[in-house]
Structure formats: structure tokens, C-alpha cells
Amino acid sequence: MALSLSGDDEEYDSESEQRAANRPKPPKMAGTTSAVKLPSNRSSSGARRRRTRCRKCEACLRTECGECHFCKDMKKFGGPGRMKQSCIMRQCIAPVLPHTAVCVVCKEAGKEDTLEEEEDKFNFMLMECSICNEIVHPNCLKVSDASGVVNDELPNCWECPKCNHAGKSGKQKRGPGFKYASNLPGSLLREQKPAKEEGDSAKRRPDRDETPRFRPEDPLHRQPPLLSPCSLPRPRPEDKLRKKRKLFDDDDDDAEEDLGPRKKERSDDPYFSKFLRQIKKEEDDEDVYEEESERGREPHFRAGVERRGRFGDLGEEGEEKDLKSELLNPCIKTPVGDSDQSHCSSPQAGPSSEGGSETQEKGPRPKARRKRRLPNRELSRELSKALNQEIQKTEDCLANENRQPLKVEPESENEEPKRLFRNGSDLGDQRSHLKTKEMNGTPWELRHFYPSQITPLGFNRSTPTNRPPPPHSPPKCVQMERHVIRPPPISPPPDRLPLKDGKTHTIQREVWMKIFGNLSHQELCVCMRVCKTWNRWCCDKRLWMKIDLNRCTSITPLMLSGIIRRQPVSLDLSWTNISKKQLSWLINRLPGLRVLRLSGCSWAAVSALCTSSCPLLRMLDVQWVEGLKDAQMRDLLSPPTDNRPGQLDNRCKLRNVEDLRLAGLDITDTSLRLISRHMPYLSSLDLSYCNHINDQSVNLLTAAGTTTRDSLTEINLSVCNRVTDHSLNFFKRCGSICQIDLRFCKQVTRTACERFIAEMSVSVPFRLKEEKLLQKSS
């Protein structure tokens, strides 16, 4: 077999062949060293060589989390050890060829380390073809006119000139980092269907167009109320949409605007412009930079993201859409291409392999080029690539050293996918759509006002149908679920900004950080596009303590990865269509999360909290969650069901919650009992619009022996129509209560409030801040 590995491979290879032909797998064959089975889709000459950890990337340097599925399986963590998989947090980002790999031609190992010139390095490094699996030194190939296509995603991986020239279509080869894809919300594995791999791009393109992944009506159906219960009316998404969308367009027409901020800075401000030019890497790779930036404008963001970003101070709005996308997707705008860093790391997650074939040679010399084609078969693929691109480029690239002296070239197909999402109609009739959602004559938009903002009349959500339609669970949305999202980076950024001349900028990182700290998220996103160093700096989690995706109608994998990358303390996913898998995945990777807002999401999604542990969570907002009733509250509050030895944790998963928002839920005293029992630190409780809440409920919360009696400082019972004056008596026993909101409680009278104030005045002075809104004075 054309395998460039150590001698013993021959046998196993033939064995593999046999196996492949004789499936199902025969029972253990004694005496043979059956090994790597060939992929069933194998259409080419060699068995694929297993890759191994790079041992350098952040993932490799991590220790096992001890909590993931695979860790729990490990013997060292008390598991049976059957799964034999690496910790999810340790999935190598840049799996390398094993040391034993040698060139199929000269039988020697990679020699790039012995060389200085970038080009030599490339010519003497081992490259494994993702199609025929041959491992060769590019220099050992005699193919003259064709060049190989380097797979950005994996070190030492390309489509060799032979295969490339023969027009074979490649399969995406991924390393270990991808192998658990099938176990994660973002599986990529399933995409590698052999049957689908074949076929030319010409065929695929229409294919894709026929099945747009983004259906115009989807976001409409899922449109949450325009007013959140706790805020002023927000501008309608469509108001800004046109403009914002345009920011993301990368059509030629729009390119100028698209590049907007950066270009402007560079041209308008001579100083800044000069400065930027000094930054190492940018100047030499101007084209690359541009291109990467363009490329970075990933199409899917144009799709679902409803641009109502509230990142940073969004008073100025305008570009929230851009912002939100960028925020979560900063790295893909990262300029790369610098020969000393970018490639490097190997798994440059660039768009890779399969897909179209219209790449063009730029120059004669580089023997290989980076593949720039966007896959045009499935959106999921685009997304996958974009994701990997993002992650790998910005994070890991910086960490590794492989070098590939390749040139980047423009890629026309890049623009392709975008069209899918630019259908201006997608959000076009939101307005009319919303109108159809009016209930009981109350405009949709008004349904979620807080009492102070609405007329409570007719606002009694007494039946489930009166509930604001929360988003349905996300449609079976391939693009959202097929992603490998890697753990957040830990590597410290450089202390100083490297400049082109080899020196570094005089201002230290911490000073820059202070400056960045004064910028809005929107501005940060712009800064992220300046250079890799800024990109990393601006991603510092201190700058992203709070991430707000409220009402973002489509949570994409890129967003998820962006979130993980920033490790926010506070995350607002209200009124989004996040799925259970996504949420679960997120929570498990946000160990420092303190504030989680999920209002208006579906119970299907929120139920992710049942299986995930977030011990640090202090604030949980699940108001208006569709389907969240007593039974679900029990699931939410009860200890994990996994009681295998070593997994036992009888404590409530939400035991540290201090602020709980339950507005608009059909919960009864049953839930309140659980809350009282399981949330000893509960200080603020929002039960507004809960129609089952009555005096007895208040009695429960304030009864002797309950922790809530002493811990509660704020309670919101507004628009709870079963609550009467009598409840006020119960509140007298609350030691710490500071605010009682009884606004729009039909059965609560002002007189009773005044009486309460009078009676309490002896010990704790209260006042009426508003009608039926009692607040402790001073």
C-alpha cells in the first residue's frame, strides 16, 4: 500500500482491505494484527494514518476536566474505562502525524525543522493527502504542473497534486479534535458521508440553493415579544435590519461599506493608518488581511441573527447586527496569513476540502495553495468550517509552529453562501407577522410590559394560550448542531504589540486593555479586526463580562464558540431559539457563569439545566418559559439523577441562586416549596404574572423554618391577581424584606399597603414608591 509508514503497516493495510470487504467485522482474529480499518468510503490508495496529539495546543496542555462524559468513564475518575476517549476539554486542536510517519517516496521523516526558508520547510515537511492518504515530502513529488491544496484545518494535510490534478474530491480530514464531534452538539462527523462527498461543485451549488437552510418564516414564527418584561420597548428588528445587514454583505457593491470601520480608520486617520501599518503582519499580507476579513463575514450570520445586539452600550445602535455577529465571531475577521504565525498552527481552520473547484493559481511558485473554497453543499459545512476557522485561526494558530509558506488567494466562491441569507424578505414582514400574533386584542408588543408600562386590565394570563408564544424549540437545524466547538483559549496574549520591524510597540498590553475597557463591544469588534494581537486582547474575558443575545433569533455555532471564548459571567439568551443541546453544551463550558437569562425560551431548551451543573449560578431568569410548570420546576431543582458512585451530589443544582425570575409561569405552591427548600440564598424572587400564586404561596415563602423567610429581600408579585391584602401580613415576618411589588394586584388595596407601612414603621420604615410598590426607605 502506498503508505508511508513504518514497515509493519503493509500487513495491516491488506488486512484492512479485507475487512472492508468482509463486513460485518469478523470476530476477533487471533494472531493477526488487524488494525486500522479503512474508512468505508475509501476510494483511494492508502489507509489513513492515525494522528496523534500535538501536545502543544491549549487543549493538549489542559488537564482533564473530570466532569465530562469521557472523563467520567475513565477509571481514574471512577468510571468503567470502556469508552477510552479523551476528555472533551482536551481534544487536540492540531493533531499531528505520528513520529513514525515517513515519506512514501524517500522513506524519510519530515525535515522541515532543519531548514530555514519557509518554502524549503514546506517542501520538506511531510504532507498527508486527504484523498489518497499518501504521505510525502512535496519536494519528492515529481508532478510538475499541478499544485496541492493545503488543508488549513489540519497540520500536514493537503490534497496532493496528483489527486488535485485528477480532480478528485477530497474528504475533509480532521483530527482528533473532531472525533468527538458526534458526541457534541456540533458534530461534524456526520457530514463526512462518503456518498455525498462525491459529485462536483457544479452539481452542489444548485443543490444548496434549492434547500436554503434559512427559511424566511422561521424567525418570524419565533419572534419573541418585542417588549421584554423588564425593559422599554425596543426598536423593531426590521427597522435597523437593512442597514445592519448591509454591513455584512460582502458583495462587491457592499464591500466598501462592509469593511467599513477598518477601512475608514485606515484612510481617514493618518496617524491611525500609520500605526496600523506598523503592526507586524499586516503590511505584508495586506491582501490576506482583506481577504480574511471578507471571508470572515460568514454568511450564516447574515441569516438568523437578528441584529438587535445589545453588546456594549448600544445607544448608538446602528450596527448591532454586525456587532453581535462579530462579537461572537471575532476571530474569523482576524487577519492571518503571516508566514510566521498564521500557518502555523496548523489547523488553520480554513475552509477546507470538498466543495467547488474554482480556485485559481496565483503564482507559479507556491507549490500549494490554501484552499479557499467554501463548501457549497451544506450550510452545516459552511458553518463548521467557519467555526473551525475561527477557533483555529485565532486561538491555536498562535500557539503552534508548523509553517506552510503558502499564499492566500482571493476566493470568489466565498460570496456564494451569503446570497442564501440575504433574502431581504426574511424579516421583511415581521411586522405583519407580529400583528397576527395579537391576543385578546392586546397588541403583541404590549404583552410583556411590566406593570408600570401597561394597563394591567386584560393582562391576566389565565390560560396557557395567553402566554406570549415563546420560541419553539429550534427547528431541527443542522447548522446549529454540527459543530465542534473547542474549549476556550487560555494562552496569555503577548505583552506588547509586535511591529513590523521586529520591535514591539511601547505601550504595554495592560495599558491597551484599559483603553479597550472603555470601548463598547461594538468598538471592540472593530479593534479585533486590526491585527491578531488586538484580536486576542480584545477577546479578553474582562471585556466581555456580560454577553447579551437577547432575541437573537438564531443561535449559531459560531456564536456558541464565541461565547465560550469569552467566558462571560453574565449571559442573556432570552427569547432565543437555543436548543437543549446547545444550552447544555454552553453551560458545561462556562464554569464561571453567574447570571443566566433564558426568559422566553422553550422548556425543551431550559431543561438542559436539569442535567448540567452550574453551581456558581447566582441569577436565573426563566420567566415566560414555555412549558415550565411545577413538574418541570421539580426537575430543575432536584439533585442530579446520576447517582453512580463518585457522581453523587445530592445538592440542588441551583442551590446558590440568589435571584430567580419566574414571571409568567404556571407554577403553584408546589414549586414554591421546592424553591424554599432548595435555594437557601434566594434573595430576589420574581413571581409576577403567575396566576396561581396567592396568599397561601406568600405564607409558604414566609413560614417559620423556611430559609426564604430570612433570605428574601425583594419579591415581585405584580399582576398576581390572587394575591390579596392578607399577604402583606405574611411579609411582616420577613426579616430582610426590602421591596414588595404588588402593583396591579387587583385584590391588593392601597389602604392595606399604607397599613403595612404604618405597622412596620416601628421597626423597619417602608414607603410607597409607587402604587402598591412597597420599598424600604433609606
Partner DNA sequence: TGCAACGTTCGG
Partner DNA sequence: CCGAACGTTGCA
Name the residues that contact DNA, by CB under 7 A.
5, 12, 19-20, 23-25, 28-29, 32-40, 48-53, 64, 69, 73-76, 80, 82-87, 90-92, 95, 98-100, 175-176, 179, 182-183, 187, 189-190, 481
Can you list the alpha helix ranges (DSSP code H) found in 469-602?
478-481, 509-517, 521-527, 532-538, 557-566, 580-588
Nearest-approach distance from CB 374 to DNA, in angstroms: 22
Nearer to DNA, 54 or 226 (CB): 54
Residue 76 or 142: which CB sits closer to DNA? 76
Nearer to DNA, 36 or 454 (CB): 36
Q: Cell for 90?
A: 482536551
CB of 26 to DNA, least distance (A): 8
CB of 348 to DNA, least distance (A): 18
**Least Cβ distance, residue 19 to DNA (angstroms):** 7
Determine how many CB atoms are found less than 10 A away from the CB of residue 520: 15
- Nearer to DNA by C-beta: 504 or 611? 611
The residue (of 85 and 423) whose beta carbon lies closer to DNA is: 85
CA–CA dist 411, 358 (Å, integer)? 8
* Three-state DSSP state, 212: coil
Phi-psi region of 133 (alpha: psi -120 to 50; beta: other; left: phi over 0): left
Residue found under cell 443566566: 596
Q: What is the DSSP letter of 581?
A: H
For residue 553, what is the DSSP state?
S
Question: CB-wise, 42 or 295, nearer to DNA?
Answer: 42
28 vs 142, beta carbon nearer DNA: 28
DSSP per position, 446-465: GTT--GGGS--TT----SGG
Buried b (16+ CB within 10 A) or exposed e, 412-432: ebbbbbbebbbeeebbeebee
Of 37, 36, 51, nearest to 135 by C-alpha is: 51
The least CB distance from residue 53 to DNA, in Å, is: 5
Q: What is the closest distance, in whole angstroms, from the C-beta atom of residue 42 to DNA in the complex?
A: 8
Tell the smallest beta-carbon distance from residue 393 to DNA (Å).
21
Query: Residue 75: how many CA atoms within 13 Å on its side-chain side?
Result: 3
CB contact burial 322-331 (16+ within 10 A = b; e otherwise): bbbbbbbbbb
Angstrom CA distances, 601 to 185, 477, 610, 744, 761, stand at 18, 16, 15, 25, 42
| Closest approach of DNA to the CB of residue 158, in Å | 16
664 φ/ψ angles, rounded to the nearest 5 degrees: 75, 15
Strands 773-776, 766-770: pairing kind: antiparallel
CB of 185 to DNA, least distance (A): 8
CA 441 – CA 437 distance, rounded (Å): 10
Nearest to 132 by CA among 113, 118, 145, 149: 149
We find the least distance from the C-beta atom of residue 17 to DNA, in angstroms, to be 11
Q: Which is nearer to DNA, 182 or 455 (CB)?
A: 182
Strand locations in 549-667, DSSP E?
570-572, 595-597, 619-621, 659-661
Grid coordinates representing 5?
509508514
Beta carbons of 420 and 382 less than 8 angstroms apart: no
**Least distance in angstroms from the C-beta of 567 to DNA:** 23
CA distance 333 to 282: 13
CB nearer DNA, residue 182 or residue 211? 182
Please say which residue, 48 or 367, places its beta carbon nearer to DNA. Answer: 48
In the complex, least distance from residue 198 CB atom to DNA, rounded to whole angstroms:
16
**What residue has cell string 499564499?**
407
Q: Which is nearer to DNA, 50 or 165 (CB)?
A: 50
Would you say 189 or 619 has its CB closer to DNA? 189
